[in-house]
């Protein structure tokens, strides 16, 4: 039997969807919530720090901070083929945080991107089959996207 846990981090991040039919084609930002969902077996090894857990929530927080928060917080995420946005952003000072990505930065695509950033850093030394099962990205209080790896 497996258990699951979730841990999240929030960022203030800008983006645009250049070919969108309405206002999302304009520069704007969101208070994103990046939520990692992990599955595995509870650690049974007696006396270890993670006994009774899948993984320490603090360890998950550290991974999310380093690989999501510190990359996109107070940054503008831009599609590599959005020449108009790249031109505008290149005129800003050198300390402006621009993150160029090979996809249109929709919530759906950002959820997959976040999964790819976080997944390699989720591991356990206790054989409890720990894995990142999904990334959930909240773009607004009413709008979420999730990405799960394909089933094997």
Catalytic residue among 15, 30, 69, 136: 69
Q: Is 26 assigned a catalytic role?
A: no
What is the per-residue pLDDT across 50-107, written as a single tens digit (0 to 9) for each? Answer: 999 999 999 999 999 999 999 999 999 999 999 999 999 999 998 999 999 999 999 9
pLDDT the model gives residue 111: 98
Provide the CB-side half-sphere exposure for 75 (13 A, CA). 17
**Banded model confidence at residue 151, pLDDT cuts 50, 70, 90:** confident
Closest by Cα among 50, 70, 69, 67 to 130: 50
The secondary structure of residue 149, as a DSSP letter, is P
Task: With cut-offs at 50, 70 and 90, classify the pLDDT of residue 1.
Answer: low
Residue 152 lies in a domain: no
Active site residue 69: yes
According to the model, what pLDDT value does residue 103 have?
98
Give the domain extent around 20. 3-147
- In Å, how far from its chain's centre is CA 147? 10
Indicate which CATH number applies to the domain containing 18. Answer: 3.30.479.10
Considering the domain boundaries, does residue 95 fall inside one? yes
Paired strand residues for 4:
39
What is this structure's pTM? 0.95
Residues 6+ apart with CB under 8 A from 1: 41
Q: What is the per-residue pLDDT across 97-140, written as a single tens digit (0 to 9) for each?
A: 999 999 999 999 999 999 999 999 999 989 999 999 999 999 99
E strands of 3-129, at which residues? 3-15, 28-40, 75-79, 98-101
Q: Which of 30, 37, 136, 139 is catalytic?
A: 139
Q: What is the number of domains present in the chain?
A: 1
Is pLDDT of 152 > 70?
no
Confirm whether 139 is a catalytic residue. yes
Out of 10, 24, 41, 108, pick the active-site residue: 24
């Amino acid at each position: 039997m497996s258990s699951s846990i979730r841990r999240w981090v929030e960022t203030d991040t800008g983006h645009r969807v250049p070919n969108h039919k309405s206002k999302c084609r304009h520069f704007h930002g969101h208070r994103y919530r990046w939520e990692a969902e992990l599955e595995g077996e509870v650690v049974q090894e007696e006396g270890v720090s993670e006994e009774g857990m899948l993984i320490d929530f603090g360890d998950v927080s550290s991974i999310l901070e380093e690989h999501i928060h510190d990359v996109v917080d107070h940054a503008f995420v831009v599609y590599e083929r959005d020449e108009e946005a790249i031109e505008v952003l290149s005129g800003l000072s050198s300390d402006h945080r621009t993150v160029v990505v090979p996809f249109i930065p929709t919530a759906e695509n950002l959820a997959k991107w976040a999964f790819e950033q976080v997944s390699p850093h989720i591991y356990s030394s206790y054989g409890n089959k720990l894995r990142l099962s999904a990334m959930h990205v909240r773009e607004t209080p009413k709008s979420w996207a999730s990405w799960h790896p394909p089933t094997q």
